[in-house]
Structures are given as C-alpha cells and as structure tokens.
Amino acid sequence: GGRGESRRAPRRGVAREGPPPDVLPLTQRDYERVLPIAATGEQYGYFWGDNDTAIQRMGLSLVTTILSANYVVALAIPASTFFLWAPVALAARRNSKVRSAKYAGLWRAKVIDVAPIETRGASSAEWMMDLLVGDKSGARVPLKVPLKGE
C-alpha cells in the first residue's frame, strides 16, 4: 500500500472501513514518564481509599504487629507500616499489569457519550461515569471512571 495506508489486515471477524485509529506510538522514555513503575502521588491517593479503608488497614497493621511481635520480629516491622505501603503496592501491581505490554501509544480520541452511575460501596453511595470513547475510524471503547468529591 501507499504512504499512510495500514499494512495490517483487520482482525478476524472485524470489517473496518475508513481511516485507521489515530494512535501515537510512545518512545521508551515517554512510556516511563507516563507510566512509572512506582506509584504516583495521584495513584497513592486513589489506592489510599476512604477513611473506612484507611482505618481498616491501620487496624490490620496494629493487630498483625501485636500478634507477630513476640514470635516473628521480621514480620512485625513490615506489618507495623502496612497501612503506609499497601497503597504503593496496589498501584505498583496495577502498573505492572499495564506495563506488561510490549508496545505503548496514546490514542487520540474523544468522549462520545457520558452517563453518571450510582453504585453502592461499603459505606455509602459512590458515583462513576460510564464513558464511551472513540475516534473517526469507528473504534470505540467503553470506560467506567470513578468520581471523587473534593
């Protein structure tokens, strides 16, 4: 094909017409900056959770520290700080799942449809946005995005 034409065949069972999706490949340097191995401040805040989650983690840290202090000192030390490093570990785990891809890119798309959704959490109602994102090629991706009141 000529310049700008996709040489890849459409996936099996997917008939596609029109331009290819607008994806900008990322360099390794950009990839590291956009998706670091360790948690960012925003990720730490997200995985910290609400007050109930923080209190549960602190309680678990306290109980585990008390139970292990006399028997396994090596376990008591990380247990006492569990509530601090748990959000970092959760974010790093999520980042590692995404980072397992061989290639990365940014998809230039726009929000096509938005709908608020109320879900019931452990302590209260939580709101999410149900989004449909897409581009001129016809590619579409549904997303659920949590909303936090600040």
Q: pLDDT, tens digit, for every residue of 54-107?
A: 999 999 999 999 998 888 888 888 999 999 999 999 999 988 888 888 888 889
Work out the burial of residue 79: count CB atoms within 10 Å of its CB; fewer than 13 is exposed, 13-18 middle, 19 or more buried.
buried
d(CA 119, CA 99): 29
Quote the pLDDT of residue 118: 82
What mean pLDDT is reported for the chain?
82
Query: Which CB contacts under 8 angstroms, 24+ apart, belong to 13-18?
Result: 16/137, 16/138, 17/138, 18/136, 18/137, 18/138
What is the distance between the alpha carbons of residues 126 and 144, in angstroms, rounded to a whole number?
A: 12
Q: Which of 3-12, 33-42, 92-101, 129-138 has the highest mean pLDDT?
A: 129-138
pLDDT score recorded for residue 2? 41
pLDDT of residue 114: 94
Predicted TM-score of the model (pTM): 0.58
